[in-house]
């Protein structure tokens, strides 16, 4: 997540600078930035975790990938987006539910997070 966050941080900083230069420090500017950050993250994680190798750049560095629980195939964009959105929504509720989601694999027998349960997916080692 750290590597993915650094990669996503660059375009987000550029977008924030452009919006701040054009709109200033207004509520509308903050709302637009929030929507664009959500969109960028949703597209990045939904697409990379759901299609191709099932890996974001950070996943590749860690040697892990997202797969369908039953078929071991990639989960597709919609389920990749759902997986990201559940995690995002859990963190939106005052951090604790999101942190709990990240710890969930420690006591789930299939090592699934809450987001994985929602998307019927699992993280696997690919090295």
pLDDT digits (tens, 9 = 90+) for 18-37: 998 988 888 889 899 999 99
Residue 124: beta bridge partners? Answer: 65
Query: Are residues 104 and 113 in contact, defined by beta-carbon separation less than 8 angstroms?
Result: yes
pLDDT of residue 24: 83
Q: What share of the chain is helix, strand, coil (3-state, %, to 5)?
A: 70, 10, 25
pTM to 2 decimal places: 0.89
Query: Are residues 110 and 102 in contact, defined by beta-carbon separation less than 8 angstroms?
Result: no
Query: Distance from first CA to last CA of the chain, Å, rounded?
Result: 18
Instruction: Give burial (CB, 10 Å; 0-12/13-18/19+) of 74.
Output: buried
Distance set, CA 98 to CA 71, 90, 115 (Å): 27, 4, 10
pLDDT digits (tens, 9 = 90+) for 67-111: 999 999 999 999 999 999 999 999 998 789 999 999 999 999 999
């Amino acid at each position: 997540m750290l590597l993915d966050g650094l990669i996503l941080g660059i375009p987000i900083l550029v977008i924030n600078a452009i919006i701040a230069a054009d709109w200033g420090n207004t509520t509308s500017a903050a709302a637009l930035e929030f929507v664009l950050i959500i969109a960028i993250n949703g597209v990045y994680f939904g697409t990379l975790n759901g299609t191709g190798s099932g890996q974001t750049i950070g996943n590749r560095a860690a040697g892990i990938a997202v797969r369908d629980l039953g078929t071991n195939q990639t989960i597709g964009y919609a389920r990749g987006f759902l997986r990201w959105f559940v995690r995002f929504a859990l963190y939106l509720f005052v951090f604790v539910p999101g942190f709990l989601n990240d710890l969930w694999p420690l006591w789930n027998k299939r090592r699934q997070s809450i987001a994985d349960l929602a998307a019927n997916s699992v993280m696997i080692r690919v090295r």
